[in-house]
Each structure stands twice: as C-alpha cells, then as structure tokens.
Chain A
Amino acid sequence: MSSLSALISLLMVALIAVPLVVLPLRSRPSVPLGVNVPSGYERHPAVLGAKSRFSQLALVVLLISVILVFALAAWPLAGMLAPMFVCLVGITAAYVWARQGIIRAKRQGDWYADARVRVGATLTPAGRPRMQWGWYAASVLLVATGFVVGGLQYAGLPDPMPVHWGLNGQPDRFDTKSIGAVFLPMFIALGLLIVLALTARLLPLGAGSTRARGLSAGGTPRSGQTYEQLQVTIGILGAITCVTTVLVVGVAVVTWLDPQSALMTAVTIAGIGLLAVVLLIGTWAYVKATPRPTAEVSGEAPATIDPGVSTVSARSAGQVHPHRASDAGAVSLPDDDRYWKSGLVYSNRDNPALWVSKRVGIGWSINLGHPAAWWIIAGFVVFIAASLTVPLLFS
C-alpha cells in the first residue's frame, strides 16, 4: 500500500508546509515574517525582498520534502516522518534567516524614528470572556460512555487483542489483554479533556496582547478586540476537545465491537475530517475577530474618544511627543522585536501577561519571562507523560 502511504505523507507535508509558509507572509501586514514594522513600511523593498527570499527557500524545502517522500516510499514510517521533519526544520530555518534582512534594514534606516506608536487598553471592566462548559460536559459524557461500553465488552474481547491497525484496516500488532491496554484510549481522551479544559479556563487570566485591538475611523485603536479573540479561542478549544473526544472514543468503541471492521478506517477518516472542519471554521472566526488596521484618517468623528497625552498637567508640559501635532496618520504598534527570540518565542519579564497573542498566525504564545510559564510547560509535560504511563501501570 505504498502509494496510499505516499499520499498520506504528502498530505502531512502539505499540512505542515502550508501554514508555515502562508502565515508569516499573510497573517499581519505590519508584522512581515514576524518583524514589527511601522505603518507605511509594509511594502518597503527590504520587506518585499525578504518575503520573496523566504518564499523561494520554502519552495526549495518543499520540493526536497516531496522528493524524500518518494525516495523513502519503501519505509512507510520513515517516509512520513522524515519529510515532515525536513519540511518543518527547513521552513523554520528559512523564516529565521530571511527575517534578518528586514531587521537589518529597519535598524539601519531607523524606521521607527518618526512612527506614531500607540498601545491601548480598556480602562473600565469589559467583562471576562466566558468559559463554554458545554463542550466539556459533552466530552465527559462521551468518555463515560466509552468506559461503560468498554466495561460491558471487556469479557468478550480476545486475548491477545489487537492494539494497532495498518492502513488497510487489518490489525498488525497485538498485546495481552489488560485494563490498561483496553482502556488506554479512554485515559488518553480523559487526559486531553482535562488539559484542554484547563487551558481554556486559564487563558483569559494571563492574556495580554502585543497587537492592535482594532482601529477606529481616526486610525486609533478601538476597544475590546482582544476580548473577542479570547472568546473565539475558548470556543475553538472547546470544539476541538469535543471532536477529538468523539474521534478517540469512536475509534475505541469500534475496535471493541468489531476489531476487524473496515468501519474503523471510516470512523478515523470522518473524525479527522471533522477536526479539519473545526480548525478551518475556528481559524476563520479568529481571523474575523482580529482587527485590520485602517491606514487613512476618515473625516468622521471617532466612535470612541481616545485621550492621548494631554498637556493640561504642567507636570508634562513641554514634553509632548514632537510628532503628534503634525502626524494625523496611521498608528503603529510598539517595536517589541527584542522580546520575540528569533521571532518564534516571546520572553519579557516586565510584561505581566502570561499569554500574548501571536504575531504570526493565530493563537497565543506563552510568555517565557513570566514566572509561571515554565511551571505550566512542566505541568503539561508531566500530565501528558502521566496520562500515557499510568494506564501502562495497570497492565
């Protein structure tokens, strides 16, 4: 079945390559390749040059990955993992390298010298994004059902029982029957459920933003967009939890009821398809909740009033930003490149936010400078390791 596995390998490579290539180029014009540039510089030759260099390099990496898929067709596992790995590492390297061109040009040209930089916040409470417990209640119910079905079917299962199926739907690995072996999928589903629920619950607590919150008619930031992004993120996490649980429980139940069935391939494909749909809808919803800056000042009065630095107080008299009076144009975000290590991970001790919204792509990045960050990462790792090894202790 090497043509099927080759096809799947190609799909996996595409799944990795497409977001890795498209997102740095398209997601936010003011942050090309993960480099902050002030308003008006989005189409600067240095930026366009770096983007095209990145695209070309990424194409080369993609080509190499595709060649690898076919070259390694005889080894199904290596034939899938090696091209994916090459693709991931190669495109990431191209990203890190290409963006240096923009950083250099920015520094040499001192692009931020005349930029009108603003960052906004809501002063009065706007409400906390709501946790959507429905998804998790449904998932818990599904897992409970899984446990019940597994319990009922337990006696009738063969020993040794199949624990892995090849691409043709035939079992290719067997294991002695035990509680751990039979219920492993349920434990995994439970572990995933808890981790995703915790993530969704804790996300709003530490969510700051390094991006604009939407711009009003006057080109200045509008309130509440981070709230909407958070709301959408919480929803996406819930939907992913539910669909993943359906997938895992569904496959497990099918293996218990009829281990030789072709139904399993169908359930797996349906589950993955459902997950892809959820991810697509989620991405669209998140992008919709993310504001796009307006570059021109329109004639109408701003819908929300934005007090800037006032000169009423003599404590600040004479310290007005020199460019405010003349520059009625677009607003830029602060240049926080120095906190984004290699443009990939965010670390800033002075920022009390635990999560910052990603500059490239959608979602949130953990702030490694926050004291709790490493604990959370450790917690995730320990939890996932535990939920995989604890069932093995049963057997």
Chain B
Amino acid sequence: MFIEIDPVSTTPIYQQIYDSVVEAIASGRLRTGDPLNSTRSLAVQFGINVATVSRAYDQLRSDGLVITNQKSGTVVARDRDTAQTDSRFLGSWLPRLRALLAEATAQGLDATQIHTHSGRMLDEFDSGRSDERFDTP
C-alpha cells in the first residue's frame, strides 16, 4: 500500500504519515493484522529522519491503531469493522469535531452543505477510495 507526503506543507510530516494510516484504515485498505514497514524502511524511502517516522508510529500506537512486537514488527491493530471499545476516544474526538463544525458554520457553510461534504467523504471511505480532488462550491 502506497502513501505520499508533502515535504513542504505546513502540516508536520509525522502528522501526514499518521493521517495517511488513519485514512487507509478508515477506507478499508488496511485491515487488522496487516503488517507495516519498519520505521527505518519508511524513512529510507522518504529520505527523512527515522525519528519523524517513529513519532508517527508512536502516536498510532498510543491511539490503539497499531501494535508493535519484536517478532512481527508493527501491525495494524484495528480496522473500521472492529467494535468501538475505547470510550476515551469520543472524549478526545468530540471536541475536535465541535471545533471543525464551529469553524465551518462561522465561515458561512450551512448544515446542508456540511452534511453533503461529510456524507460524500464517508461514502468514499465505504467504497474504499479517497479522492484528493476538492469540489469548489
């Protein structure tokens, strides 16, 4: 499975890697048990510091998305079909959702538009695709 990063973006690279893995899990391209390349391998391919990749993997680990063991390396720990068991997750995610929705509303998007965008993206996760093209309203 292939991911890409934007090295000159204002978003930190470890964040981009994290987001890519999350999105891959959400769209079903990564399933429970799928192995991930070592931090070193990813760093060599990207040509970036190993510590950057480690940071992304650490965050994925602490969020329960991957686990690492000595024998098989880093492996995906859950996918979108795994039952939601972590109540702490809602506690950290809901405030972020609120912030996003508030921002959209403040910038003039109405509920219908927000629902349309959300629905489209959720559909894309379901169909296993994610599209980089953004519709301009």
Contact = CB atoms under 8 A, between A and B. Distances in A.
Interface in A106-127: 112, 116-125
A124 B100 contact: no
A119 B132 contact: no
Nearest to B121: A312
Give 5 nearest A-B pairs by CB, closest first. A314-B96, A121-B45, A223-B2, A120-B4, A307-B23
Interface string B7-29: 11111000110111111101101
Contacts of A316: 11, 15, 19
Nearest to B3: A123
A289 B21 CA distance: 28
Given A308-B6, A328-B133, A119 B46 contact: yes
A367 B53 CA distance: 20
Interface string A202-232: 0000111110000000101111101000000
Give the size category of B's interface with A: 35 or more
B134 A325 contact: yes
A363 interface: no
A352 B43 contact: yes
Interface of A: 112, 116-125, 206-210, 218, 220-224, 226, 301, 304-321, 324-326, 328, 334, 336, 348, 350-353, 356
B50 interface: yes
B21 A123 contact: yes
Given A121-B42, A210-B47, A310-B19, A321 B11 contact: yes
Contacts of A118: 4-6
A313 to B, nearest CB: 6
Given A123-B36, A350-B49, 15 more contacts: A116-B6, A120-B3, A121-B37, A123-B1, A124-B37, A207-B44, A208-B46, A209-B47, A221-B2, A226-B45, A308-B20, A314-B95, A314-B96, A317-B100, A324-B134
Contacts of B18: 313
A349 to B, nearest CB: 9
B5 A119 contact: yes
B64 interface: no
A210 B46 CA distance: 8
A258 B134 CA distance: 76
Nearest to A118: B4
B55 interface: no
Contacts, number: 162
B136 interface: yes
B37 A123 contact: yes
B4 A122 contact: no
Contacts of B27: 305, 307
Contacts of A352: 40, 43-44, 49-50
B130 interface: yes
B128 A305 contact: yes
B7 A334 contact: yes
B123 interface: no
B82 to A, nearest CB: 18
Contacts of A324: 132, 134
B37 A222 contact: no
Given A210-B47, A352-B40, A123 B24 contact: yes
A208 B7 contact: no
B99 interface: yes
B132 A317 contact: no
B34 interface: yes
B46 A121 contact: yes
Contacts of A308: 4, 6, 20, 132
B19 A125 contact: no
A124 B132 contact: no
B9 to A, nearest CB: 4
B46 A310 contact: no
B11 A351 contact: no
Contacts of A328: 132-133
Given A119-B7, A305-B129, A313-B96, A348 B22 contact: no
Given A209-B47, A328-B133, A309 B40 contact: no
A85 to B, nearest CB: 34
A353 B100 contact: no
A307 B21 CA distance: 9
